[in-house]
A and B are shown apart, each in its own frame.
Chain A
Amino acid sequence: MKAIIEVPKPVFTVLNQVFELERRLSKVDDPTRFSRPLEKLKEAFDSDEAQFVIDNPINQKYDITRTDVEATITGTEHEGLEITEVLKPIIKLTCKGISRIIQKGVVIASASKPAAQ
C-alpha cells in the first residue's frame, strides 16, 4: 500500500524559487558569494525526519519510460532524446529512508543529435 504524502503548497513554491535562483546565479560572475544564503535555505528543508531534494535533470537522457518528468518533445525526432531545458525541477522527499518524488520535473526534450537527412 502506498502512503499518501501531503506537502503544503508553499513548500513547492519556495523550493522551485530556490532552483530558479540557482539557475540564474550560474550565469552571473562570482556566484559563490550567494552560496551561503542559498545553502542555508536548502538546509531548512533537510532535517533528520525529512529531506527535500531538488534534482535538476538537465542533459539527461529521456525516453518514454521516464516518469519523473513531464516532457514536451520538440523537433522532428522521437528517438535519442535528451532533456535540453528544465522549466521545473524534480523534487523528492526522503522520509525514514524511503524516497518519493513529490513533484515531477517539467522539461523540454529533443534529439541529442540531429537526424540524418
Chain B
Amino acid sequence: MLKRNVPLIIVFFTSVILIIAFFIPHRPFGDLESRFLNWYAIVAGFTLLLGLDSLARHHLIQVFRRRPGWPYSLLLVLSLAATVTLGLYSWFKYRSPFDLRAPFMWLIYTPMIIPLQSTMFATLAFFIVSAAYRAFRIRNFAATLLLVAACLVMIGNVPLGGTIWRGIVSLVHAVAPSLDPARLDRMEAFAAIKDWLMSTPQAAASRGINIGLSLGGMAMSLRIILGIERTYMS
C-alpha cells in the first residue's frame, strides 16, 4: 500500500506546490520552480549512468557469450571506451574536449560524429521521396488538395519556382504584350502562394492542433496529479 500511495502523495503535493509557486513570487515560493527544475536536471544526469550500465552490460554479454552480431557489440564497447578516454584526456590537457586542438575533436567529432549524423539526417530525403511517391495519390478531394498544396509549397520554397514563374511571365508576355512583364515578374506568384499557405491555413491548423494538445495535456496532467492516471508508476 505504501509503494502505491507514497508516490501518489509526492506527485500531488509537488504539483500543487509548483502550481501555487507559479503565481507567488515571494520567497520561498518564487525559487521553488527553479529548484525543482535543477533537481530534475541533476537526477536526469544520473540516469545517463543507468543507460550506460544497461548498454554496456547488454553488449558485453553479447561479446562474452559470442551471440550473433557480437563483433558489432565489441566495436560498440571499444568505441565507448575510446570516446570516454579521449574526452577525459582532452579535458585535462585543453580544459575542454571541444577545444579545436583536442584529440576528441579531430579524431572523433569532426571525422566521425559530424559526417555520420549528417548522413543519417540526409537519408530522410530519400525516404521522403519514396513515401511521397507512394502516399500522394489522387484518391479523393482531400488527397488532391494535399497533393496540390504540397507541390505549390515545394515549388515556392526554392529558386526553381522563380525560374518557372519567369518562364510563365515570358509566355504570357508573348501572348499578351500589353501586360507589363516586370510587374508580373515582381509578383513571384509561387513564392507568394507558398508564403500564404504557410502563414494562413497551415498556421491556423497548427494553432488548432496545438490548442487541442494543450487541453489534452492539461487533462492528462490533472489525471496524473489527482492520481487517476498511474501507469507511470509501474
A complexed with B: no
Q: Which residues of A contact B (CB under 8 A)?
A: none
